[in-house]
Each structure stands twice: as structure tokens, then as C-alpha cells.
Amino acid sequence: MVYLSNMDIKNLLIQAIGFIGTFFFFMSFQCKTNKNLFRVQFLSYLFYTTHFILLGAITGGLSYILNMLRSFFLGSDWEFGKSDKMCFILCSLQIVAMAFTWAGWISLLPVIANIASTVAGYTHNGRKIRIAGMFINSPLWIIYAVLVGSWAAIADEVISEISMIVSIIRYGWKNLDKVEK
């Protein structure tokens, strides 16, 4: 008979919280409009913030708080929240968060990933959002997730890559090149 220690149970619960975030992130790329994509990602980021903070990966957790704000702003009708100025503010806050939680070069990974996703999100262009996700965001988050021990984030990024490919096939690469505000 296998017995789980309190530490094992705690780790499984932390990973489960992350897997809930994974589910919502996968679902976000199945949304046709960018506005709905960002609204569903907001839920994903809420779970991931909790997950990373509980893992002790503070830079990742704070980065996800800023991702929540980004998704909230981009999914809202607030014009300033969708402006280039807000993009600059959020990218700057990523750098500030990294400075306060610096744990060596590993802290660069989520920050660079999130700055790329933020800049892409603020183009309001579905194709650019997916390009940044597939070629910058996901690869950097996979490395970070391996280093901090987040099974859920590893799965999330692999599933996200698949989800982005499915959305490209589903909606067509050309159809994703529209700017939505």
C-alpha cells in the first residue's frame, strides 16, 4: 500500500491548482475573438498566480498577476487599458517585479516571455499573439517551469502550443491577421 505524506499531498494540490489554470488557458485559444480570449486567460492567470506563489516561484507568480491585469485590460472596453501607454506600463512593471524578486538569470525567463506576450497582445492582432506565444512565451515558460518544478506549467505550455496550432487550423492563418480593438 502506498501512503502519501503531507508534503506529497500539498505538492499534488499545488499542481492541481496549476492544472486548472492549464485547462482555462487551453480554452482561451478556442475563443474566436481576442476579447474573449483575454477574458478566459484572466481565469487561467488567477490559478497560475496561486500555483507559482505556492511553489515559491515568486517572479513567476508576480508575472502572472501582471498577466491578469493585462488580460483584464485587453478584455475590457476601457480604451486606456487597451492603449500603447498601458502596454508600456505593464512591461515596465514586469521589469520592476523582476528586480524585486531577482533569483538569478532564471528570473529573466518569465519576464521576457510576458513582455513578448504583452507587446503581442497590445497589437490586437490574433496572428501576432499566437506567434509570440508559440516562439517566445511558451518556450521560455517551459524552461522556467522545469526549473521551478511546475508540472502543470510544463503541460500548460505544451497544450498551449497545440491549442494555438488548432486555432490556426480552425480559423485560418489569414483570418487571424485582423486587428481587433
Q: Model pTM greater than 0.75? A: yes
In a domain, 1, yes or no: no
Residue 60 has pLDDT above 90, yes or no: yes
Q: What pLDDT, on the 0 to 100 scale, is given for residue 170?
A: 84
Q: What is the pLDDT of residues 115-170, one digit of tens each?
A: 999 999 999 888 899 899 999 999 999 999 999 999 999 998 898 888 888 888 88
Q: Residue 40 pairs with which residues in a beta bridge?
A: none
User: How far is 71 from 75, CA to CA, in rounded Å?
Assistant: 6
- The residue range of the domain holding 114 is 6-177
| 138 found inside a domain | yes
Residue 36 domain-assigned? yes
Is residue 121 one of the residues assigned to a domain? yes
Q: How many domains does the chain have?
A: 1
Domain presence at residue 37? yes
pLDDT value at residue 181: 58
Tell me, what's the pLDDT at 156?
85
pLDDT digits (tens, 9 = 90+) for 90-107: 999 999 999 999 999 999
Q: Is the pLDDT of residue 180 over 80?
A: no
Half-sphere exposure for 88 (CA within 13 Å, toward CB): 4
Asked if residue 43 belongs to a domain, the reply is yes
- Compute the distance between CA of residue 120 and CA of residue 23 in angstroms, rounded to an integer: 22
